[in-house]
Structure formats: structure tokens, C-alpha cells
Chains A and B, each alone.
Chain A
Amino acid sequence: MDLTTSDDQQALQEMISRFAADRFDIDTVRAFGEPGGFDRAAWAELAELGTFGIALPEDAGGVGLGTIDAVLVHEALGAGLVPGPLVAATLAAGLVDGVIDGSVVPAVLDRPAHGPVVVEHLRDADVLLVVDGDGVSKVDTAGLAGTVLPHPTDPVTPVTLLDAVPTGERVAGPEVAAAWRRLGSVLASAQLVGLSEASTAVAVDYAKERQQFGRPIGSFQGLKHLLADCYMRTEVARSAVWSAGVNIDEPEPGDIDRAVAAARLMAARAATENGKTGVQVHGGMGFTWEVVAHLYLKRAWVLETQFGNPDDAAELVALKVAG
């Protein structure tokens, strides 16, 4: 039993964090959401680091590391607010040519039971991959009838309304689909952990600087306790997500689906609660478009429903407890 990062893993996270800070500064991040703002050059540079093929075997063009390493990468991507279909690209890198080097941009959709559906990143995608119980299907985006919605809740995550999801061409079977759902869920949860930590750090910095009543507002217990809870939620969630990531790599010690669902519950709670706290700690400024606090919260809302929402995850864990 060892749930600590190795030196190599810490270096991997630092590399991604540095790249995110340099190449995806906040203006670049915001620009991604604008019409035509998806920066394919930046996306290809991100791909060049091995980001999307991190857990693919080397003979498939990947880096040959494990799911847990992909988890750590996505934690750093989430913390850096890096935009784009990060989970979709990591899932599709081994299946669709060009995704691994960033030249083909994918979107992914867990097929809903019914009705019109909102799909993130489809606006910028070359290919849509639809996951359901029978497998994975590829849909050409050229022939898709959809409406790009003009006011996405997260201004950095464009969303498209599809009236119907076409059948497409079956490119993988049910085992791949099941693996994608697990991995997709855990990677989104890993990004949620990164968001939790980063939104807390921004709020802590502000609380140390902002003066009221002649002292930093971070000296008041009312704020200290809010921020201490943020730290607690991040660390508890990180533990659950790492554990789920390791569980995918070595299936025997636990129930993978339970671990994946528990990770989603903890990570969604941490990112949304910490995101809300981040807005609140910034006071009135936190409620402005200019201050970044709302971007962490909105990204958390986008990710918490990716490959399983918290309610479904809670239901699954409960049924596993009951046996």
C-alpha cells in the first residue's frame, strides 16, 4: 500500500502546471470560449507534451504510464483552468487517428436515454464520439444539425444543443465503452480536484491581502473556517480520486465502480463548494466577470455531470453498500 506520488509523478505534475501557467494564461483561457477562439496551435503544443497519450502504450504512440498518472495530469490541467475537450481527447487518443497529436479535436457524449442534449466542445470538434452500453460510435460533425448556444454557463466551455444523437459508425465494443465511462469519470473528477485546490489558493491569497477593519480579512475566523473546510474537502476528494485511479490500474483490491462513484461525489462536492466559497471570500468583486473566482465554479458545474452526476453516483454507492 502506497498512496503517495513518486518524484517522477511530482515532476510530471509540475511540468503540466508550468506549461499551463505559461501557455494558458487567463487571457488565453478566456479567449478559447469566444467564437472561433479555439487555438489549435496551443492545443497541439499541449498534445506534444504527451498529455493525451499519457496512459497509452508506447507502441501506440503513448507515454506508457498508468491511469494514476493520467489522473495526476488532469489534476494539474484542472488547477490551471486549461480549456478544451481534455477528457475526450484522452479517451479518444488511442482510437481516432490524429487526436494524440492534437490535429484532430474530439468531443465525447455519454448517450442520454432521451430528448435533446447539450454537448460541450462540439463547436470546436472534428469528430463526435458517442458512448453507450453497446459500444463507442463515431459521428462526423460535418453533417450534424445542432445549435451553438450563445450563452454557455462557463464562458470557456462552448456548448451545442443537439435535437437528436445520430447512430454513427460503431468503432469499439461494450468493453471499451465501459472502460471509457470509468476513465472519463475519474479524469473529470481529477480535474475537479485541481479546480478545488486552485480556487482555494486564489481565495486564500485574496484573504491575506484584502484589508478591512484595519486588518487582513483572512485573520477573521468566519473566513478562516470557510477556507479550512475548502482544504479539507480538497484533500478528502484527492484521496478518493487517487484511490479510484489506482483501482483502475490494479483491479483486485476493491470495487472499481464504487471507487469511481465515490471519487465523483467527493470531487464534485469539493469543487462546487470550494468554488462557491471562492466567490464569497472575494466579496462583491467575486460576483464580477473580471475576477476569476466564478470561472472555477462554472468549470466545476460543467465537469460534475461528465460521465455520471453526483446523484447517480450516490445511488450507486448506496446500492453497493447494501450489497
Chain B
Amino acid sequence: MHLRDTPEEATFRAELRAWLAENVPKLPPEPDHTDWPGRRAYESQWQRLLFDAGYAGINWPVEGGGKGATPGEHLIYLEEASAAKAPEVTVGFVGQMHAGPTLIAEGTPEQKAHHLRGILDGSHVWCQGFSEPEAGSDLASLRTRAVRDGDHYVVTGQKIWTSNATVADYCELLVRTDPDVPKHKGITWLIMPMDLPGIEVRPLVTAHGTAEFAELFLDEVRIPVANRVGDENDGWRVANVTLSFERGTGFVGEMLDTTNLMKELVAIAEVTPKGAGTAWDDPGIRRELGQIAAELDALWAYTKRNVSAGAKGGLPMGSGSAFKLSYAGVVQRLGDLALRILDRASLAMDDVDGRPTAAQVHGRLHAFAVSLGGGTSQIQQNIIAERVLGLPRER
């Protein structure tokens, strides 16, 4: 075992760090997190810079147009990008983390040629049409119906929790093509252009007040059969290529950003009056912060373990679930601690008294996205209990 960079990794890190130092300052001020068109423009501009420098699709294979970095280089990239305060991946998440990797694994040559470049250079934004009002944790029970009509599927139904739908060009869509077989066996994966007739997008405002999600209402939307990824009725398997990806390393970049948020919280605590001193003088607050920091350090080490195990031939079963379960817990504890430190400054999602308090309140609310999105914490616990520990299924 070793933690130090190899000579190749050290070179990669040094070049990347220099490039980030030169290019991050070129960006305009970051738009407000409620301004989704603004965020799209901002992130696309950054993605274009990454693309031109050869850093786009860092962990995508070379044949998919990516950099084909080693797992170690991928982690170095995430570490350095976070340290340099490079833009977080939000509107680009579905394309870069789900749709792109799925197309690389399962798409036709035409689909790859048409879509991968746009995801990599930031010109195409994707959204995800998986969940439905009646198909959440039980995703496979989804009902949105697709009926074959010549060279098209005619799609009618409703989707929810569709991230970035208001600014997206394409949607990775799961539809039911056969209602008469067991639920996992009648699902198909389609690429839906968001400008087709019959699509209505209604923004869904989250508890932290942003229209990060939307509901999609689909009324006889005609999607070409050529947009099908994988075989008809094989969409559940295709979808799980992306879900396993999300449970693997999808949250690592966000975790590193949480580490930055934690450091900002310490700086706030050091200037927030409490009793005769500051909040940071309170040993209870320091110890809770120390425990949170230790767990984030441990999760970074766990990431290195999992990534190096993956590179050697296989991510251990359940490791992605255990990572996400632990991370969801620690990000919520960090948010709880932030509210304790902020005290009455937590009553507004605005900066109070010259301190960057808004991001902390926002972070507490955002923490629910971690314990709910990509499989709730309780679903992760079921996965670990049944698939790792071998406990019997309930039914």
C-alpha cells in the first residue's frame, strides 16, 4: 500500500495545478444558485476550457473521447479542482456522470458520434427522466408508457425529480414498453430531445428554494426508435450501468466541496461571538467539528481504497452504498453543527453580518439531496444488509 504520488501522478498533478491556477481566474463571477440559465452558461464556459485543455471526460475512456486517466489521476483531478475552487459540476452532472458513460457502454456508433462530444465540450446539457410520482425507491414500477408506431415510440406519462430539465437539451428517459411482463423486464432506455412537441416542463422548487428539479409531463411525444439505447425491454440493465456509476465515485467531487464548506464554517466559528469568546472557543463545537472532519478524512481514504480496488479488478460489493450512507450522515451532521454555530444568523438564507452564512444554511438543506438522491439511505442499508451481509429478504 502507498499513498504518495507516483512520478507520473506527480507530473499530472503539477501540470493540472498550474493549469487550474491560470484558468479558474478567467471565469466571470459565479451566478446565483437559483439562476439556472446563468449556471448553464457558466458551467458550459468552464467545460469548454477543460475540453480545449484535454481535461474533459477525465475518467471517460479514450475511445469515448475522454482523457482515459487512471483512477489515481481521476482522484488527483477531483482533489485539485476542489482545492482550486473550480466550478462544481451541477448542470453537467447527468451528462458527465450518467448519460455519457451509459452511451459509451451501451450506445450505437451513431449515438456516440452525435452525443459524446457535446457532453464533453459543454454544449449539450442532459437531464434525467427516471423517477415518477408513483415510482421512487421502487423505480422499476415506472408507468410512463411508450407505444411503437413505425419508426417512433409514442410516449405518454409523467416524470419527477428531473434535474436541470429547464435548461437541458436531452433527457435520458426510462419508459415502459411492455406492461405484461415482470416489472424489470418491460423497461426501455430512450434519448429524448427536449424540444420535441408534447413535452411540458414545470419547475419543482426544492426546500432550499431553487428550481433544481422539474416535473415532466409527456403527452404523445414521438421519439425516434433510433434513439433507443440497448434493446427494447432491456432498459433496466442499461439504467443500472449508470446507477452503479453514481454509487461508485459520483459523490466524491461533492464530498471534497463539502470539505471546503467545513473549512469555511471553522472560519465563521472563529469570528462568531459566543459567551465571553467565540463559537470556536466552545469545546463541544470543536469536538463535533473534529469528528466530522475525521469522518470526511476517512471517506477520502475509503475512496482511495475503492478506486484502487476497482483498478485492480473490482469494486467490492456494497462499497458504494457504504460510502454514500456514511457521507449522507456526515454532511447532515455538518449542517446541524453549522446551525448551532450560526445561532440566529441561521434564520436567513442570506449572508448575515458580513459572514458567508447563507452557504451554510443552504448546505444544511442540500444535505437531504445526499440522503435521498441516487437511492435513499434506507435503500443503501437494504442493499448492504442483503447483498453484503447476506441477510434474508423481507418477502
The residues of A with any CB-CB pair to B shorter than 8 Å are 1-6, 9, 68, 200, 204, 207-208, 215-216, 218-221, 223-225, 227-229, 231-233, 235-240, 242-243, 245-247, 250, 252-254, 258-259, 261-263, 265-266, 269, 310-311, 313-322
With a cutoff of 8 Å between Cβ atoms, the chain A residues found around residue B301 in the complex are: 3, 239-240, 242-243
Identify the interface centre among A216, A227, A232, A265: most chain B CB within 10 Å of its CB: A232
**With A231-B318, A315-B287, A321-B262 as contacts: A236 and B2 at CB distance below 8 Å:** no
Q: Is the CB of B266 within 8 A of A1?
A: no
Chain A's nearest CB lies how many Å from the CB of B281? 12
Within 8 A of A (CB), among B1-53: 1-6, 9
Q: Is B309 positioned at the interface, with any CB of A under 8 Å from its CB?
A: yes
How far in angstroms is the closest Cβ of chain A from B337?
11
B108 proximal to A (CB < 8 A):
no
Instruction: Given A4-B305, A316-B290, verify A204-B390 contact (CB < 8 Å).
Output: yes
What are 10 sample pairs from A and B whose C-beta atoms fall under 8 A apart?
A3-B1, A204-B390, A218-B392, A221-B394, A225-B382, A239-B304, A243-B298, A252-B4, A314-B287, A315-B287
**Contact status B384-A228, CB under 8 Å:** yes
Assuming the contacts A228-B325, A246-B1, asked whether A317 and B294 have C-beta atoms less than 8 A apart, the reply is yes
| Docked complex: B280-321 residues within 8 A CB-CB of A | 280, 283, 286-291, 293-295, 297-299, 301-302, 304-305, 307-309, 312, 318-319
User: Is residue B65 contacting chain A, with contact meaning CB distance below 8 A?
Assistant: no
User: For B263, what are the chain A residues with a Cβ–Cβ distance below 8 Å?
Assistant: 321
Q: Of all chain A residues, which has the CB nearest B394?
A: A219
Of B2, B382, B384, which is within 8 A of A231 by CB?
Answer: B384
With A266-B294, A266-B298 as known contacts, state yes or no: A243 contacts B392, CB within 8 Å: no
In the complex, which residues of chain B have a beta carbon less than 8 angstroms from the beta carbon of A317?
290-291, 293-294, 297
Q: Are B392 and A239 in contact (CB under 8 A)?
A: no
Complex-state Cα separation, A224 to B388, whole angstroms: 11
A229-B381 in contact given A4-B308, A4-B309 (Cβ < 8 Å): yes
A11 nearest CB across to chain B (Å): 15
B206 contacts A by Cβ under 8 Å: no
Which listed residue (B1, B262, B294, B304) contacts A265, Cβ 8 A? B294
Known pairs A228-B389, A318-B266; list 8 more (Cβ under 8 Å).
A1-B308, A225-B381, A225-B382, A254-B3, A262-B297, A314-B287, A317-B290, A318-B286
Give every chain A residue within 8 A of B298 (Cβ-Cβ): 236-237, 239-240, 243, 262-263, 266
A321 with B293: CB separation less than 8 A = yes
* Least Cβ–Cβ distance between B130 and chain A, in angstroms: 24
Is B393 part of the contact surface with A, judged by Cβ < 8 Å?
Answer: yes
Contact call B262/A246, Cβ cutoff below 8 A: no
Determine whether the beta carbon of A243 is less than 8 Å from that of B325: no
Q: Specify the main secondary structure of chain B where it touches its partner.
A: helix
B253 close to chain A: CB less than 8 A: no
Q: How large is the interface on B (under 10, 10 to 19, 20 to 34, 35 or more residues)?
A: 35 or more
Query: A314 to B384, Cβ gap below 8 A?
Result: no
The 6 tightest CB contacts between A and B, nearest first, are A314-B290, A224-B385, A318-B290, A240-B298, A262-B294, A243-B301
**Smallest distance from the beta carbon of A198 to chain B beta carbons, Å?**
14
A-B contact count (CB 8 A): 185
A101 to chain B, nearest CB (A): 28
By a CB distance below 8 angstroms, the chain B residues around A227 are 385, 389, 391
Interface status of B210 (Cβ within 8 A of chain A): no
A4 touching B1 in the complex, CB below 8 Å, given contacts A219-B392, A227-B389: yes
Let me know if A208 and B308 touch, CB within 8 A: no
Instruction: Scan B307-349; emit 1 where CB is below 8 A from any A CB, else 0.
Output: 1110010000011001001100000000000000000000000
Which residue of B294, B312, B380 contacts A228 across the interface (Cβ within 8 Å)? B380
CB of B378 within 8 A of CB of A243, answer no
Chain A residues positioned under 8 Å from B266 (CB to CB): 318, 321-322
Identify the closest chain A residue to B316 (Cβ).
A235
| Cβ B302 vs Cβ A235 within 8 A | yes
- State which of A243, A266, A321 has its C-beta within 8 Å of the C-beta of B304: A243
Instruction: Return chain A residues, CB-CB under 8 Å to B187.
Output: none
Bound together, the chains give a CA A231 to CA B380 distance in angstroms of 12
B386 at the interface (CB under 8 A from A): yes
Q: Does B204 contact A (CB under 8 A)?
A: no
Smallest CB separation, B6 vs chain A (Å):
8
Asked if B72 is an interface residue, CB under 8 A from chain A, the answer is yes
Q: Is the CB of B392 within 8 A of A216?
A: yes
| Chain A positions within 8 Å of B286 at CB level | 314-315, 318-319
Residues of B within 8 A of A310 (CB): 291
**Binary interface encoding of chain B residues 268-284 relative to chain A, with 1 for a CB under 8 A from any of its CBs, else 0:** 00100000000010010
A3-B304, A221-B382 known; A208 and B390 CB under 8 Å? yes
- Report chain B residues within 8 Å CB of A236: 295, 298-299, 302, 322, 326
Contact A68–B3 (Cβ < 8 Å): no
Residue of A nearest to B392 (CB): A219
B75 within 8 A of A: yes
Per the bound structure, the CA–CA distance linking A313 and B297 in Å amounts to 13
How many angstroms from the CA of A218 to the CA of B1 in the assembled complex? Answer: 36
Residues A235 and B322 in contact, CB atoms below 8 Å apart? yes
Which residue on A lies nearest to B291, using beta carbons? A314
Chain A contacts of B294 at CB under 8 A?
A: 240, 261-262, 265-266, 313-314, 317
User: Are A224 and B299 in contact, CB atoms less than 8 angstroms apart?
Assistant: no
Give bound CA distance, A6 to B388, whole Å: 22
The docked-state distance in angstroms from the alpha carbon of A98 to that of B262 is 49
Cβ–Cβ contact A250 & B325, under 8 A: no
Contact A247 B287, beta carbon cutoff 8 Å: no
Chain B residue at minimal CB-CB distance from A216:
B392
**Of B4, B270, B312, B388, which is in contact with the most chain A CB atoms at under 10 Å from its CB?**
B4
The answer to whether A250 touches B2 (Cβ under 8 A) is yes
Residues of chain B in range 166-190 having any CB-CB distance to chain A below 8 Å: none
Residues of A within 8 A of B75 (CB): 1
Residues of A close to B305: CB separation below 8 A: 3-4, 238-239, 242
Which one of A4, A219, A321 lies within 8 Å of B393 (CB-CB)?
A219
Question: B391 touching A224 by the CB < 8 A rule?
Answer: yes
Query: Judging by beta carbons under 8 Å apart, are A322 and B280 in contact?
Result: yes
Q: How far is the CB of B318 from chain A (nearest CB, A)?
A: 7
Which one of A4, A231, A311 lies within 8 Å of B312 (CB-CB)? Answer: A4
What's the Cα separation between A128 and B322 when bound, in Å? 41
User: Shortest Cβ distance from A245 into chain B, in angstroms?
Assistant: 8
